[in-house]
Amino acid sequence: MKRKIHFVSLGCPKNRVDTEVMLGVAAGNGFDLTTDPAEAEYIVVNTCGFIGPAKEESIDTILEMGRYKEHGRLEKLVVAGCLSQRYPDQLAKEMPEVDHFLGSSDMLKLRDVLEGGAERMLVGNPAAYTLRASDPRVLSQSRHSAYLKIAEGCNRTCSFCAIPAIRGKQRSRSLEDIVEEATRLASQGTLELNMVSQDTIAWGRDLPGKPTLAALTKALGDVKGVRWLRLHYLYPETLTDELVELIATHPKVVKYVDMPLQHASDAMLKRMRRGHGGARLRKVVETVRNRIPGVVFRTAFIVGHPGESAADFDELCEFVQWAEFDRVGVFRYSDEEDTGSFAQDAKVPKKDSAARHRKLMALQRPISRKRNRALIGQHLEVLVDGASGEHEFVLQGRHAGQAPEIDGVVYLSGAEVRAGEMVTVEVTQSADYDLVGEVVLDDGSAPAADAPPKPAVKPKRKVALRVTN
């Protein structure tokens, strides 16, 4: 019998790609993947070490998985990723149940672990590795949607961020290598490619000839079989006309901008070392709104950063009300010891940070609700993801303005559909973040009651969304 291995992937989509490379390594070494950790002889936890809550989740998960040495079949517990890259010696000392440690760039070293005889500490230089199309990779969720990591590391010096220390400097993959991977994914049934990196807009600046993100996006748009291209993690600097035009007009590039802005106050942006002020952010928002009709704009902010006064926070709230973003993520500042912000004075009490988080989220909720409500009655192209984890017997998908895992979904009623299909849906209900829609035929009609059945799962009841006022 083949040996079994179980993976837990924590953190961001970039970390998920790393996990999928390790899945490929395991498959190449003859291991079967199991979703039940009690069945596994090997367990790999790919950790996140970015901020306090993520570190706590990683540690709790490691301890939880370690218990399967007593109550399961576990022989080897492997810890990989950003947490072990950041704290290798401390983890090795305090977690004797862990058999091997891999860092944020050591995914291929899992092969040495699985073949036996590897050292316990395998954490290497984070800048020593860049993903290649030739690396093994097994998608962990679905074939029809995949993350495409276009670069490693980051050259920014944001004062609150430990990523450059954990992941190293920017290392862009070549255009040809990225297109090669995209072509292989498309040949396997991938319709949606979500382009990710630490600083996506900076892709290519470290390569010979300094190719642009627009050039890469155009090349990916030529890949046969790809239907949606989505750009994530754009830094808020001046967008090139070419990139804006691509997002606005290219039939495969979805009108979706994911751009973490972090704050709007000049004083806070300076403390955060973002390299710009609030005036530039307003200009960027106006450019995106005016030149990309129908765009969905996602952003993220940090509240409670050292030095954030009540006036700074009020300015951020006013900015959010003015911009009316479609999606907003709000994060409470985490005081990380190896960042520039750690040494800054005027720390914000945790209770104030929590209150500001609640207020900003409450401010955004009706904006998101209004934007969703405006979609009622519209026909949208929806990529079916499969069965819903929230509503029994109901299928769900996403329209082009909904990124996987971080945005809302469209619950589907009225027809038999399969995961990986693109279908036309008429939106019938909306809530703060999710939608409900009826699948319609190409001529705009609802499916006939006596239509021949498909080999698919049919929703068994209507969906009613509860709207929180």
Please compute the mean of the pLDDT values over residues 441-464 and round it to a whole number: 44
Q: Which two tokens stand for residue 343?
A: 């040494």
Q: What is the radius of gyration, based on Cα positions, of the chain? A: 23
pLDDT at residue number 392: 63
Please compute the mean of the pLDDT values over residues 108-132 and round it to a whole number: 95
Burial pattern 408-446, b for ≥16 Cβ within 10 A else e, equals bbbbbbbbbbebbbebbbbbbbbbbbbbbbbbbeeeeee
Stated pTM of the model: 0.91
Q: What's the distance, CA 234 to chain centroid?
A: 13
Question: By the 8 A CB rule, do 76 and 5 touch?
Answer: no
pLDDT at residue number 452: 35
pLDDT at residue number 40: 96
User: In which band, very low, low, confident or very high, does the pLDDT at 198 lie, cut at 50, 70 and 90?
Assistant: very high
User: In which band, very low, low, confident or very high, does the pLDDT at 239 lie, cut at 50, 70 and 90?
Assistant: confident
* DSSP single-letter state for residue 376: T
- Percentage above 70 pLDDT, the chain: 93
pLDDT at residue number 460: 39
Distance (Å, whole) CA 207 – CA 260: 25
pLDDT at residue number 442: 60
pLDDT digits (tens, 9 = 90+) for 355-365: 999 999 999 99
Strand order in the sheet with 76-81: 32-33, 4-9, 42-47, 76-81, 100-102, 121-122
Name 35's Cβ contacts closer than 8 Å, sequence gap at least 6.
Answer: 6
User: In which band, very low, low, confident or very high, does the pLDDT at 463 lie, cut at 50, 70 and 90?
Assistant: very low
Closest CA to 83 of 60, 66, 104, 99: 104
- Ranked by mean pLDDT, which of 53-57, 166-170, 180-184, 238-242 comes out on top? 180-184
Residue with token string 């945005």: 407
Please compute the mean of the pLDDT values over residues 177-191 and round it to a whole number: 97
Closest CA to 191 of 407, 390, 31, 397: 397
Q: Residue 174 corresponds to which amino acid?
A: S
Distance (Å, whole) CA 411 – CA 394: 7
pLDDT digits (tens, 9 = 90+) for 365-403: 999 999 999 999 999 999 999 988 776 678 899 999 999
Question: By the 8 A CB rule, do 99 and 42 touch?
Answer: no
Distance (Å, whole) CA 162 – CA 302: 15
pLDDT at residue number 237: 80
Distance (Å, whole) CA 218 – CA 202: 16
Distance (Å, whole) CA 35 – CA 16: 16
Domains of the chain as residue ranges with CATH:
4-128 (3.40.50.12160), 145-373 (3.80.30.20), 375-469 (2.40.50.140)
Q: Which two tokens stand for residue 217?
A: 């996006």
Please compute the mean of the pLDDT values over residues 66-77 and round it to a whole number: 93
Residue 234 has pLDDT above 80, yes or no: yes
Greater confidence, 63 or 464? 63
- Percentage above 90 pLDDT, the chain: 86
CA 187 → CA 212, 223, 349, distances in Å?
Answer: 25, 10, 52
> What's the mean pLDDT when you consider all of the chain?
91
Concatenated DSSP letters of 218-287: HHHHTSTT--EEEE----SSPPPHHHHHHHHH-SSEEEEEE---B---HHHHHHTT-SS-HHHHHHHHHH
Residue 173 has pLDDT above 70, yes or no: yes
Closest CA to 166 of 11, 351, 328: 11
Distance (Å, whole) CA 398 – CA 408: 8
pLDDT at residue number 238: 73
Name 380's Cβ contacts closer than 8 Å, sequence gap at least 6.
Answer: 399, 400, 410, 424, 425, 427, 437
pLDDT at residue number 417: 87
Distance (Å, whole) CA 310 – CA 307: 10
pLDDT at residue number 112: 96
Please compute the mean of the pLDDT values over residues 458-464 and round it to a whole number: 43
pLDDT digits (tens, 9 = 90+) for 266-314: 999 999 999 999 999 999 999 999 999 999 999 999 999 999 999 999 9
Residue with token string 């972090």: 262
pLDDT at residue number 379: 96
pLDDT digits (tens, 9 = 90+) for 90-117: 999 999 999 999 999 999 999 999 999 8
User: In which band, very low, low, confident or very high, does the pLDDT at 65 lie, cut at 50, 70 and 90?
Assistant: very high
Residue with token string 């703060």: 432
User: In which band, very low, low, confident or very high, does the pLDDT at 457 lie, cut at 50, 70 and 90?
Assistant: very low
Residue 459 has pLDDT above 70, yes or no: no
User: Phi and psi for 373 in degrees, rounded to 5?
Assistant: -60, -35
